[in-house]
Amino acid sequence: MAFMGTNSKKWWAEGIQFECQGSGNCCLSRGEYGYVFLTREDRQNMAALLRITTREFTRKYCDKKNGIFHLKEDSSRAECLFLDGKRCSVYKARPTQCRTWPFWPEVMNAKTWNKEVKTFCPGVGKGRTYTAEEIEKSLNLQKKSESQLLKERT
Ligand code: SF4
């Protein structure tokens, strides 16, 4: 994930329809662009769900890219280690970037949204409408998490 882009144009002022269709597309590994980056809090939450220590979780499931933790990629699988069929096996404790998808700063510009997100994610245009406030909240959560990742970089 190249997560540093920003765009605050509010073309979504009327809200956006989105409902996860369980495609698992966002859980597929796409090399470093598909990395699931993890703050310390993300790792703590996942470790707690799995009933292991954060240290164990980190050792077993994490790698680092430029000093930032992300979920390990397994070359024998095309998808996230925690994808079980089309279901996230750690859904309750899934990382922030999985919670905030698809409302990420880097994709919330009309061009990327229409060209990439809409074709990649079958949940766009389905289900309930997320209000501008909800989208803003998700964007802010994602931005906060990205800043935290940089603060925790070693
Ligand atoms: S942690 Fe769960 S939601 Fe996030 S990429 Fe992995 S399987 Fe998908």
Query: Given the DSSP bridges, would you call strands 124-130 and 68-71 parallel, antiparallel or unpaired?
Result: unpaired
Does ligand 1 come within 6 angstroms of the Cβ of 27? yes
Residue whose CB lies within 8 A of the most ligand 1 atoms, among 3, 98, 101, for a mutation test: 98
The candidate with the shortest Cα–Cα distance to 149, out of 75, 45, 67, is 67
Does ligand 1 come within 6 angstroms of the Cβ of 61? no
89 pLDDT more than 70:
yes
Q: What is the pLDDT of residue 120?
A: 87
User: Which H helix or E strand runs over 17?
Assistant: strand 16-18
Does ligand 1 come within 6 angstroms of the Cβ of 107? no
Separation between Cα atoms, residue 29 and residue 42, nearest integer Å: 19
Mean pLDDT of the chain: 90
Does ligand 1 come within 6 angstroms of the Cβ of 70? no
SS (H, E, C) 84-145: ECCEECCHHHCCHHHHHCCCCCCCCCHHHHHHHHHHHCCCEEEEEEECHHHHHHHHHHHHHH
Q: How confident is the model at residue 30 (pLDDT cuts 50, 70, 90)?
A: low
Q: What is the pLDDT of residue 29?
A: 66
Q: Which residue ranges make up each domain of the chain?
A: 30-151
60 pLDDT more than 90:
yes
Q: What percent of the chain has pLDDT over 90?
A: 73
Rounded to 10°, the helix 40-50/54-61 angle is 100
Residue-wise pLDDT tens digits, 100-126: 999 999 999 999 999 999 988 999 999
Separation between Cα atoms, residue 64 and residue 70, nearest integer Å: 6
Q: How confident is the model at residue 55 (pLDDT cuts 50, 70, 90)?
A: very high
